[in-house]
Amino acid sequence: MIIEQKVRGDHRGQLIAIESQNDIPLEIKRVFYIYGTEKNIPRGTHAHFKTKQYLIAVNGSCRVTLDDGQEKTTYNLNRPYIGLLQNEMTWGSMHDFSYDCVLMVLADLPYDEKDYIYEYADFISKLSS
């Protein structure tokens, strides 16, 4: 789901504030960002059992493909006020990064290695069980 954030600003510049449960439908427990990524090297390529994430290209652009096991949809993130909600049990891949892309991710759970599904076949199997 694409969510457009409210932009506040004036002659001094723009500001976007994101509050848990008000501006995005999750409680923020972790923030990380990806930068310096090669255009043709994908990131992500996994799913989470429980974690929901909100992805924003705060600089530059990238594409994100989400797969719920039934349908794959690719989104172009290229504006710092547009974010993409990735629900749990959704396979995600970030790709086609611009040279200047900074992709910020807000997550509703702290990092937990056991929350990751790295093999696509395992992901599909878990969806049907």
Q: Give the containing element (helix H, strand E) for 67.
A: strand 62-67
Helix, strand and coil in the chain, % to nearest 5 = 10, 45, 45
Contact 76/16 with Cβ under 8 angstroms? no
Q: In whole angstroms, what is the distance from residue 77 CA to residue 97 CA?
A: 10
If phi over 0 gives left and psi between -120 and 50 gives alpha, with beta otherwise, what is residue 116? beta
The neighbour count for residue 16, using CB atoms within 10 Å, is 15
**How open is the CA angle 52-93-74, to the nearest 5 degrees?**
95
- Catalytic status, residue 46: yes
**Of 11, 46, 48, 95, which is the active-site residue?**
46
Which are the catalytic amino acids?
Answer: 46
